[in-house]
Amino acid sequence: MTDLSQAVIQRQGNITILTSDRILFGHRGDKVVLRGPLHAMIDLKRPNGGFKGQEEIILRTPNETKEVVCAESDADKYDINISDLGALPPSPNIMEHVVHKRHLDHNTIAHFTMYHKDDMVTLRGPARLRVEWKDKKGGVRRAQDFTLSAMTDVKEFKLMGADETMVITGQVLGAQAPQAAAPVQYVQQPAPQMAPAVQYVQQPAPQPVMAPPPAPASPPAPPMLAGPYCGRLPDGILIKASNNDSVYVMQGGQKRPLTGEGFNRMGYKWDNIWVLPVHEVNSVPTGPVVN
């Protein structure tokens, strides 16, 4: 469990309670800035206890930060509760495939929920998504499945009507869900039988056998590159060295340099870049430039 008091690098206003696993505040202009590594949940609740919104925070490195500010109006008052969720979830997950979002009331690695007209989220692949449109009582009116095969596939989802709710659940393609352990089965085995008595039979002397010529030796495998990240960085993530601003995207075990135009066209975000030591970035083979 993370000590949230150590994750706070800036605070402003009336932070009423600040403990090791919870932060509470609810006055207009109250603000905290958090840094990683951190896995936490932001809950927004109205003074009468009613639900207003929820957002999951995933900050994987100390270079990543998140600002949480109370921007309530006189007609829409709410309190903010930030609670620690413990260990970071596996990567990649569906939250790391968000290109853009607007006014999501419920934003977690399990699903995205939209309640208001014109709420929207844009997601990129590779991912398999299911979208359900529900009435305000929770009944499913219709549903549709979408598959985004590559990281260049982008899809915008927008709630068009005010009388329904849109819920999006998703799974990152290539990410394996944890499997439950198989139940242990006990099988009764028969009692061991006594081995038959050994009998010695005189055999003729073996005749010499001509051995076939040896098969040609396989060419040596290429040497493994040094460094803890080599061969383990998943496709689609963004990386850069700590000593320069060159950004790469991982594809097929190679780091492919990104131009500024390519970075913007594909909808990448600076918050999703992994900043690694220089020798680790240098240990990954370099592929062609992504234009």
pLDDT value, residue 258 = 86
pLDDT value, residue 4 = 80
Per-residue pLDDT of the chain (291 residues; tens, 9 = 90+): 567 878 888 888 888 766 778 888 888 889 989 898 889 898 888 878 787 888 998 998 888 999 998 888 777 788 888 888 888 888 778 888 888 888 767 888 888 888 888 888 998 988 899 999 999 888 998 899 999 988 888 999 998 888 899 999 988 886 554 454 555 565 566 666 665 655 666 666 666 666 666 655 544 433 444 445 555 677 888 888 888 888 998 888 888 998 888 888 888 888 888 888 888 888 889 999 886
Q: How far apart are CA 158 and CA 241, in angstroms?
A: 36
Strand pairing of 273-276 and 238-241?
Answer: parallel
E strand or H helix at 265: helix 260-265
pLDDT value, residue 232 = 65
φ/ψ bin of 174: left (φ > 0), alpha (ψ from -120 to 50), beta (otherwise): left
94/162 same-domain check: yes
The answer to whether the beta carbons of residues 118 and 158 sit under 8 Å apart is yes
Q: What is the largest CA-CA distance in the chain?
A: 104
pLDDT value, residue 206 = 66
Look at residue 190 and tell me if it is in a domain: no
Look at residue 40 and tell me if it is in a domain: yes
| CA-based R_g, the chain, Å | 28
Strand pairing of 51-59 and 106-107?
Answer: parallel
Q: 108: domain range?
A: 90-174
- Tally of structural domains, the chain: 3
The answer to whether the beta carbons of residues 273 and 232 sit under 8 Å apart is no
Place of tokens 């040609």: 216
> ∠116-146-103 over CA atoms, to 5°?
20
pLDDT value, residue 222 = 39
Domain end position, chosen among 46, 67, 88: 88
Choose among 83, 82, 87: nearest CA to 1: 87
102/149 same-domain check: yes
pLDDT value, residue 229 = 53
154/126 same-domain check: yes
